């Protein structure tokens, strides 16, 4: 423990007064000082000053109904266009609802305290305070089933490839309908950002794949490919002398999948590695109930998920992503020039071969026990 002088060496709490002409970056830098305000400032600065350096591979996980809330269009697409996200892990639901925007279907502001029995009777579906027509689901299901019957889907593939191929269709649909820049999947396709889902069966996308399977469609998810590809991306970042960052929106299975790349490398594949270098989480998950969603960067260190030496470069901000993400995105775009897209999707196969080779080199002649 340092002495009193050191302990009191942090900046004085003495912000400039807020005015009507203050900018977002000034507000963040000068007026978000303590508690979750302080954490949001730290997240903005960690993201902009360290994570967005060229040699950092940025993975982001999405959970919670973010695309229905417009955050795909608002923030995630601009972040990808600026080269600020290199790969993603998402719930299927975020990707399914993303599709609506590209194919011209609409979601609307509603009320969180609506009478759901009446909504059901009227054919309205509710996501908290968002309303949409039940037909939006039916039309989106039709879209997926039509697309997934195409020849290029008649095989086993990783979820990243499946999302890429769907993104291609959506990208064309966007052009046709004049709905450009509405779909995260389409943008990720254009920028070569691989998007994984940790739970491929768990969403309307997975349900449509399963329905088609009952009709002898050949599309299958190669779950192990997802696991190995995602670990390969993280390993490559480190083996080439770069750094890796985890940006976690929410928690849940996508958080676990993003972080498990390191235990996969170290504990399961037996390769030398130390963990993520940078960590930001915006979440409402509580720490004290013991779940992974709320698990701290410290706990992650004990698993090898975060490099112990880098623990100070970890921030958890307890704020709704619908507030925190727009601010983070606006701050980063104001303060940092675009990065050249890494187009990791194009390199999946070579990265996979590299991790496989390193693994075989180490355990080649022995049987995997």
Q: Least distance (Å) from a second copy to the CB of residue 363? A: 8
HSE value, Cβ hemisphere, 13 Å, CA-based, for 206? 17
Q: Least distance (Å) from a second copy to the CB of residue 102? A: 12
> Does residue 53 belong to the site contacting a second copy (CB under 8 A)?
no
Q: Least distance (Å) from a second copy to the CB of residue 290? A: 4
Question: Do the beta carbons of residue 305 and residue 264 sit within 8 Å?
Answer: no
Q: Which stretch binds a second copy (CB under 8 A): 51-59, 163-171, 315-323, 340-348?
A: 315-323
Number of residues that bind a second copy (CB under 8 A): 163
Structure tokens at 207: 């349900």
> Does residue 48 belong to the site contacting a second copy (CB under 8 A)?
no
**Site residues (CB under 8 A) for a second copy, limited to 326-365:** 326-327, 329-330, 333-335, 356, 359-360
Q: Is 304 left (phi over 0), alpha (psi -120 to 50) or beta?
A: left
Q: Least distance (Å) from a second copy to the CB of residue 28? A: 9
Q: Would strands 156-157 and 314-317 be described as parallel, antiparallel, or unpaired? A: unpaired
**Site residues (CB under 8 A) for a second copy, limited to 248-267:** 250-253, 256-257, 260, 263-264, 267
* Buried-state track 317-327, b at ≥16 Cβ within 10 A, e below 16: bbbebbebbeb
Distance CA 210, CA 31 (A): 50
Structure tokens at 176: 């046709």
> Does residue 34 belong to the site contacting a second copy (CB under 8 A)?
yes
Classify residue 310 by its DSSP letter: G
Q: Least distance (Å) from a second copy to the CB of residue 236? A: 16
**Displacement of CA 75 from its chain's centroid (Å):** 12
Which residue is catalytic, options 182, 243, 255, 305?
305
> Does residue 191 belong to the site contacting a second copy (CB under 8 A)?
no
Interacting residue with a second copy among 45, 50, 168, 220 (CB under 8 A): 220
Interacting residue with a second copy among 287, 339, 347, 354 (CB under 8 A): 287
> Does residue 93 belong to the site contacting a second copy (CB under 8 A)?
yes
Catalytic status, residue 305: yes
Task: Write phi, then psi, for 79 (nearest 5 degrees).
Answer: -65, -40
C-alpha R_g of the chain: 21
4 class by beta-carbon count within 10 Å (0-12 exposed, 13-18 middle, 19+ buried): exposed
> Does residue 95 belong to the site contacting a second copy (CB under 8 A)?
no
Per-residue string for binding with a second copy, 115-144, x by CB under 8 A?
Answer: xxxxxxxxxxxxxxxxxxxx--xx--xx--
């Amino acid at each position: 423990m340092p002495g009193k002088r050191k302990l009191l060496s942090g900046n004085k709490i003495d912000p400039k007064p807020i005015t009507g002409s203050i900018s977002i970056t000034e507000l963040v830098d000068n007026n978000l000082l303590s508690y979750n305000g302080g954490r949001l400032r730290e997240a903005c600065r960690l993201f902009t000053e360290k994570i967005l350096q060229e040699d950092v591979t940025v993975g982001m996980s999405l959970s919670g109904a973010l695309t229905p809330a417009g955050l795909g269009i608002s923030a995630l697409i601009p972040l990808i266009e600026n080269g600020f996200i290199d790969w993603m892990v998402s719930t299927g639901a975020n990707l399914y609802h993303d599709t609506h925007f590209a194919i011209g279907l609409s979601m609307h502001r509603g009320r969180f305290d609506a009478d759901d029995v009446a909504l059901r009777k009227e054919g309205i579906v509710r996501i908290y305070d968002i309303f949409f027509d039940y037909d939006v689901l039916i039309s989106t299901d039709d879209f997926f089933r039509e697309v997934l019957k195409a020849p290029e889907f008649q095989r086993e593939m990783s979820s990243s490839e499946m999302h890429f191929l769907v993104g291609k269709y959506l990208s064309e649909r966007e052009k046709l309908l004049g709905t450009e820049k509405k779909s995260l999947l389409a943008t990720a396709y254009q920028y070569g950002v691989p998007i994984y889902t940790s739970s491929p069966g768990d969403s309307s996308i997975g349900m449509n794949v399963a329905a088609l399977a009952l009709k002898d469609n050949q599309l299958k998810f190669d779950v192990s490919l997802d696991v190995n590809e995602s670990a390969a991306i993280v390993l490559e970042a480190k083996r080439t002398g770069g750094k890796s960052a985890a940006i976690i929106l929410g928690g849940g299975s996508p958080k676990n999948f993003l972080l498990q790349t390191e235990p996969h490398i170290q504990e399961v594949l037996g390769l030398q590695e130390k963990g993520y270098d940078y960590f930001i989480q915006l979440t409402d998950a509580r720490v004290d109930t013991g779940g992974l969603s709320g698990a701290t960067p410290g706990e992650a260190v004990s698993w090898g998920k975060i490099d112990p030496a880098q623990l100070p470069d970890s921030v958890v901000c307890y704020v709704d992503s619908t507030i925190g993400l727009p601010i983070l995105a606006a701050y980063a775009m104001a303060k940092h020039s675009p990065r050249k897209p890494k187009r990791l999707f194009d390199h999946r196969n070579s990265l996979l071969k590299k991790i496989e080779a390193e693994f075989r080199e180490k355990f080649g002649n022995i049987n995997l026990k």
